[in-house]
Chain A
Amino acid sequence: MNPSDPRAMQPTEDPSAPKPERPKVVVKLRGQIWEVEGNRRAREVVRELGLNPESYLVVRDGELITDDTILRPGDRVELIAVISGG
């Protein structure tokens, strides 16, 4: 998956099609937003975005969480990249 295109993850707007009602987990990283399926551990969500859970911290509602935490539909989380260069 290409994490540079967040829209690829979102359902397209089509009023005629019945929309899936299940809310998603909203993931933010460096100003980009993804929507992914919930009811999974944070580390699985990070992996799905093509990222290594080792290199990111997960913050939910302003609180740091461990990567075995189950993310529920409707949760909003932010990923903090920890690798810095130079």
Chain B
Amino acid sequence: MRCRKCRERAVIHMRQHKLALCRDHYLAWIPEQTERFIRKYRMFTRDEPVLVAVSGGKDSLALWDVLLRLGYRADGLYLGLGIDGDIGYSDASYAKIRAFAEQHPEARLHVLDIRETYGESIPELAQRTRRGKGKPCSVCGLVKRHEMNRIAHELGYPVLATGHNLDDEVAVLFQNTLHWNTGYLARQYPVLPGGDGFARKVKPFCRFYERETAAYAILRGIDYIYDECPYSVGATTIYYKELLDRLEADRPGAKLSFYLSFLRAKDQDGLFAHVQEGERAEMHPCSRCGQPTTAPDLCAFCRLWPEEVLERPTETFIPLTLAPVAEPPEAA
């Protein structure tokens, strides 16, 4: 197969776009498209510092790479979850991220270790709390969301970016549609507005297939963690992704069209708009941390920890900053 633009040997064929590209044209196409999505969904501008949540996986490192190539002020945030699973998962992820950051002196990397900060790793926290019984994913997701919000807020980043790709989005959309979970469906979008000092959340890769972000990482020589988190084994997301890939194999473009028609229904027909209004009305700030919650007093994160942990001096909750950089970002 040949590149549509130059007739060189193609490295990727994107059936949903009927587009095959060579290495060079593909490495140019990904940032161009990312830029297009950033503008289309009004995610952020070049004046706004962006905090990229990096896990060490292909998507988040590729996203950080693309944003830096595009000239955005993109810094990384890594949360040390303390997950080992006999493969030293967290340590290995962190090593990949550091290696990436060291090659990019123009960016800084913020690191927060959950155990050092709160006294328990994610698996330990999951053991202790009712919410985490069985699988740590529920507490893990909760902690990550809370800490990303908090850190973006404290370090003054108006924008928080995650590496979610189209397959992630479609798997969640599919799951939420199966359950008609209107609350989640109402909130799913490439950009979620910030407010009350909290960062806007953006997903600049939300229209790339997972195979495209993987291909980009490989072609750019980004050394990402190929092993999965040991707790993701048997995750429903993976099951839905496999199911959707079977559909995609038979009907190229099925995933893209599922996602885009969902967005169109929201944009043009106001699908789930009333649900979102209702949800927003029920939100109020947590009495301890100030993050928006529907719970009556403390948010779910603050309820996870004993009082003595949360009452420590505020400075102890600030992440460590690595990698050389010129100036700190301006406050939002």
Contact = CB atoms under 8 A, between A and B. Distances in A.
Contacts of A84: 57-59, 210, 228, 232, 238
Contacts of A1: none
Interface of B is mostly: helix
A85 B229 CA distance: 8
Contact of B137 (A53, A67, A83, A86): A86
B218 A83 contact: no
A17 interface: no
Interface residues of B, number: 33
B31 to A, nearest CB: 18
Contacts of B215: 57, 64
B11 A52 contact: no
Interface residues of A, number: 20
A14 interface: no
B211 interface: yes
A41 B211 CA distance: 19
A63 B235 contact: no
Contacts, number: 72
A83 B1 CA distance: 24
Interface string A48-86: 000011111101000111111100000000001011111
Contacts of B57: 84
B245 A66 contact: no
A66 B1 contact: yes
B237 interface: yes
Given A52-B245, A80-B218, 7 more contacts: A59-B218, A64-B11, A64-B219, A66-B12, A84-B232, A85-B238, A86-B237
Interface of B: 1, 10-13, 20, 23, 57-59, 137, 167, 210-211, 214-215, 218-219, 226, 228-229, 231-233, 235, 237-238, 241-242, 245-246, 248-249
9 contacts: A54-B245, A57-B211, A57-B214, A66-B1, A66-B11, A83-B238, A84-B59, A85-B235, A86-B231
